[in-house]
C-alpha cells in the first residue's frame, strides 16, 4: 500500500539503505482479440557514427523488448553485412535468422549536431521500407530520438501508443533517517533529484498532465501533503491537518486529489481540491479501522483502496462520489497498494499481496470476474506496482535490486534502476 511510513506508518513497508545509482541495463500478445507469438524484430546498430549507432540500437532494443509486443533478436545471430547493406536490407539474410521485421538506420554526427535516419522493414513486404523517419538536433537528444522512433514502430506494427517517452518517480534513502524523491526516464536514464530537505519525502503521485508531483513530507515533523513541479523547484504544502496526510492520488481530469487523512481519528479516504481544501469524506468506518491508498479508475468513476474493516488489509472499491464499498480481494490475508490499469480491455487492478510463505509479490485482479493473476513469484520481494500509460507494462520495486519493469503478463522482466528505490509511480506519456 502506498502509505508506507506512518503505521510503522500505516501498514509497514520494506526499506533500503543506500543512495541511488542509475542503471540500465516470449509472451503472447492480443491483437484484435486473437493471440499470437511475439513479433520477431531485428534491431542492428545504425551505420555511420559507431558510438551513436550502438547507443541508439541499445535504446530501441530495450524499448521494444519491454513493450509487450516484440521479441528482439540477438545481434550475434545476424547474418547480414550491415555496412554493405547501409539502411537497406537483403531480405533473405534477415529471414534466415527468423526476423519478421528489421529496424535500420544511419547516424550522422557533426560537432554537437546529430541526424538519425530510420527505416522499418516488414520482410513480408520485401525490400522497400514501410516506415521512414529522420530526426535532427543536438547530441543530447539522441536517446529521446531513439525513444521516439521506438514509439513509431509500436504505433505502426501494433496500432497503439508506446510508453517510451514517459518518466518514473520514486523515493530513495539518501542518508540516515531521510528519503528524497527522484524522477528519471522510464528506462533509468536522466536521473533528477526533486527534494533535498533533510527529511522523509515519500509516496510521489503524478498529475495527469505530468507537470506536478504530489507527495508526503515530514519536513515539519508531521506527515503533510506537498506539491512540486516535476521539473523541480520549491514544494508547496497543500494539507497539514493533524495526523497523517498521505497517499495522494490525482483524479484523471486533474481536478481533485484523493488522499488519506486521520484528522478525525482512524485514517479515512477524503477528496481534496488540488489546493488542499476538503471536498468530501468518502469513508467513515467506525472503530479503529484503516482506510487508505486510494487509486482512481481510468474513467474517474471509482476508487480502489485498502481497508482492514473485515480484519486484514484487503482491496476494496467504492464510487468516487461516495457510497457503498465493495470488497474485491478475498484470497490472502495482506493485500495492499492497488493500482488501476489505465487501458486494459477488462477493468484490472494491480496490487501487492503477501503469500502463505510471507513473501510479497505483485498480482492482478479483474474487477468484474475476480480472476487473479500472479505477476511475480520466487524472485525475491516485489511491491508497489505502477502501470505504464498504455497498460502494457508495470514498474515494481524488488529486493532483487532497485526497480524492475515487467510486461503485463509477467513473462518479460528487466531491471531499470539499481540501488535504493521504493514506491515507484509511472508518469504519463508525452509527445
Judgement on whether residues 119 and 224 belong to the same structural domain of the protein: no
In a domain, 56, yes or no: yes
pLDDT for 357:
84
Per the domain annotation, does 21 fall within a domain? no
Domain identity same for 108 and 220: no
- What are the pLDDT digits (tens) for 63-119? 999 999 999 999 999 999 999 999 999 999 999 999 999 999 999 999 999 999 999
Judge whether 32 lies within some domain: yes
pTM of the model: 0.91
Query: What's 95's domain CATH number?
Result: 3.40.50.10070
88 and 189 fall within a common domain: no
Same domain, 175 and 116: no
SS3 of the chain: the string is: CCCCCCCCCCCCCCCCCCCCEECCCCCEEEECCEEEECEEEECCCCEECHHHHHHHHHHHHHHHHCCCCEEECCHHHCCCCHHHHCCCCCHHHHHCCCCCEEEEEEEEEECCEEEEEEEEEEHHHCCCCCEEEEEEEEHHHHHHHHHHHHHHHHHHHHCCCCCCCCEEEEEEEEECCEEEEEEEECCCCCCEECCCCCCEEEEEEECCCCCEEEEEECCCCCCEEEEEECCCCCCEEEECCCCCEEEEEECCCCCEEEEEECCCCCCEEEEEECCCCEEEECCCCCCCCCEEEEEECCCCCEEEEEECCCCCCEEEEEECCCCCCEECCCCCCCEEEEEECCCCCCCEEEEEEECCCCCEEEEEEECCCCCEEECCCCCCCEEEEEECCCCCEEEEEECCCCEEEEECCCCCEEEEEECCCEEEEECCCCC
Give me the number of domains the chain comprises. 2
Low-confidence residues of the chain: pLDDT under 50: 1-9, 12-34
If asked whether residues 154 and 193 sit together in one domain, one would say no
Is residue 141 domain-shared with residue 213, that is, in the same domain?
no
For 64, the domain range is: 28-158
* Domain end residue (candidates: 158, 173, 199): 158
Instruction: Please name the residues in contact with 187: beta carbons below 8 A apart, sequence gap of 6 or more.
Output: 24, 59, 62, 63, 164, 416
Same domain for 154 and 167, yes or no, is no
Q: Would 196 be classed as within a structural domain?
A: yes
Instruction: Tell me what pLDDT residue 36 has.
Output: 52
411 plus 287 within the same structural domain = yes
Domain final residue, candidates 140, 158, 176? 158
CATH of the domain at 398: 2.120.10.30
Instruction: Please say which residue of 102, 124, 158 terminates a domain.
Output: 158
Classify residue 137: in a domain, yes or no.
Answer: yes
In a domain, 8, yes or no: no
80 and 60, same domain (yes or no): yes
Question: For position 11, what pLDDT does the model report?
Answer: 53
CA atoms of 316 and 132, how far apart (whole Å): 47
Q: Are residues 190 and 127 in the same domain?
A: no
For residue 315, being part of any structural domain is answered with yes
Amino acid at each position: 500500500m502506498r502509505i508506507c511510513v506512518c503505521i510503522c506508518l500505516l501498514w509497514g513497508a520494506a526499506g533500503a539503505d543506500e543512495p541511488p545509482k542509475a542503471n540500465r541495463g516470449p509472451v503472447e500478445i492480443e491483437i484484435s482479440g486473437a493471440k499470437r507469438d511475439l513479433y520477431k524484430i531485428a534491431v542492428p546498430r545504425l551505420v555511420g557514427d559507431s558510438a551513436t549507432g550502438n547507443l541508439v540500437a541499445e535504446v530501441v532494443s530495450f524499448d521494444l523488448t519491454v513493450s509487450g509486443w516484440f521479441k528482439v533478436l540477438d545481434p550475434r545471430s545476424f547474418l547480414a553485412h550491415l555496412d554493405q547493406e547501409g539502411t537497406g536490407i537483403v531480405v533473405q539474410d534477415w529471414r534466415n535468422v527468423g526476423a519478421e521485421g528489421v529496424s535500420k538506420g544511419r547516424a550522422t554526427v557533426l560537432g554537437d549536431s546529430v541526424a538519425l535516419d530510420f527505416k522499418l522493414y516488414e520482410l513480408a513486404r520485401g525490400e522497400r521500407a514501410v516506415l521512414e523517419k529522420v530526426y535532427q538536433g543536438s547530441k543530447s537528444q539522441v536517446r529521446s530520438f531513439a525513444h521516439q522512433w521506438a514509439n513509431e514502430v509500436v504505433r505502426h506494427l501494433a496500432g497503439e501508443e508506446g510508453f517510451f517517452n514517459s518518466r518514473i518517480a520514486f523515493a530513495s534513502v539518501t542518508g540516515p533517517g531521510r528519503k528524497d524523491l527522484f524522477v528519471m526516464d522510464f528506462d533509468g536514464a536522466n536521473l533528477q533529484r526533486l527534494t533535498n530537505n533533510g527529511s522523509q519525502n515519500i509516496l510521489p503521485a503524478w498529475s495527469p498532465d505530468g507537470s506536478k508531483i504530489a507527495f508526503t513530507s515530514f519536513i515539519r515533523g508531521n506527515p503533510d501533503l506537498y506539491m512540486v513541479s516535476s521539473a523541480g523547484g520549491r514544494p508547496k504544502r497543500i494539507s497539514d491537518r493533524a495526523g497523517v496526510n498521505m497517499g495522494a492520488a490525482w483524479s484523471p481530469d486533474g481536478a481533485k486529489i484523493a488522499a488519506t487523512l486521520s484528522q478525525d481519528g482512524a485514517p479515512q479516504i477524503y477528496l481534496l481540491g488540488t489546493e488542499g481544501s476538503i471536498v468530501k469524506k468518502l469513508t467513515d468506518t467506525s472503530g479503529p479501522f484503516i482506510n487508505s491508498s486510494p487509486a482512481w479508475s481510468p474513467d474517474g468513476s471509482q476508487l480502489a483502496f485498502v481497508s482492514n474493516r473485515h480484519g486484514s488489509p484487503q482491496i476494496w472499491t467504492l464510487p468516487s462520489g461516495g457510497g457503498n464499498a465493495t470488497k474485491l480481494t478475498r484470497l490472502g490475508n495482506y493485500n495492499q497498494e492497488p493500482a488501476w490499469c489505465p487501458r486494459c480491455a477488462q477493468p484490472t487492478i494491480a496490487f501487492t499481496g503477501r503469500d502463505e510463505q510471507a513473501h510479497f509479490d505483485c498480482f492482478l485482479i479483474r474487477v468484474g470476474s475476480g480472476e487473479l493473476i500472479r505477476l511475480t513469484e520466487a524472485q525475491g520481494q516485489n511491491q508497489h506496482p505502477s502501470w505504464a500509460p498504455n497498460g502494457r507494462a508495470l514498474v515494481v520495486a524488488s529486493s532483487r535490486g532497485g526497480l524492475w519493469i515487467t510486461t503485463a503478463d509477467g513473462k518479460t522482466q528487466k531491471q531499470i534502476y539499481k540501488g535504493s528505490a521504493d514506491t515507484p509511480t509511472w508518469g504519463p506519456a508525452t509527445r
